[in-house]
């Protein structure tokens, strides 16, 4: 083991995407699953269409993530890109390989949204 890895841990590289890059993967990949890691209240207010809510604050968050198919592509978002960054990091640690974070969050999303 690299001595620096012991000190700093295994650095996982998160794929942070702009709104345009995120939307491009959504449109081009039929296998992609859109995940909203915000709270149910935030999701009810506004969301990207066809997203699956898996609240990061839910005590069963890791169990719910572990039940997902690791062979699919996941596009993860939250309000500002912070929670989704950490959610993607956890997913990568769990063995998911194709996971992307919407870096600006839904507040920086330029695509279609649903309300209510």
Q: Classify residue 96 as exposed, middle or buried by CB count within 10 Å of its CB (0-12, 13-18, 19+).
A: buried
pLDDT score recorded for residue 11: 59
Spot the catalytic one: 34, 48, 54, 78.
Answer: 78
pLDDT tens-digit readout, 8-22: 455 568 999 999 999
Per-residue pLDDT of 81-104, as tens digits, reads 999 999 999 999 999 999 999 999
Q: What is the band of 113 on the pLDDT scale with cuts at 50, 70, 90?
A: very high
Closest CA to 73 of 112, 105, 34: 34
Mapping DSSP onto H, E and C, the string for 67-86 reads CCCCCCEEEEECCCCHHHHH
Whether 78 is catalytic is yes
- Domains along the chain with CATH numbers: 14-115 (3.40.250.10)
pLDDT tens, residue by residue, 16-61: 999 999 999 999 998 899 999 999 999 999 999 999 999 999 999 9
Q: Are strands 46-47 and 15-17 parallel, antiparallel or unpaired?
A: unpaired
């Amino acid at each position: 083991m690299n001595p620096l890895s012991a000190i700093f841990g295994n650095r996982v590289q998160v794929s942070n995407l702009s709104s345009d890059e995120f939307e491009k993967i959504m449109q081009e990949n039929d296998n992609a699953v859109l995940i909203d890691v915000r709270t149910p209240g935030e999701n009810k207010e506004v969301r990207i269409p066809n997203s699956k809510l898996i609240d990061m604050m839910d005590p069963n968050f890791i169990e719910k993530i572990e039940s997902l198919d690791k062979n699919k592509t996941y596009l993860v978002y939250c309000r500002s890109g912070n929670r989704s960054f950490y959610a993607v990091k956890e997913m990568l640690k769990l063995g998911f390989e194709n996971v992307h974070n919407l870096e600006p969050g839904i507040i920086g999303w330029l695509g279609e949204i649903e309300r209510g």
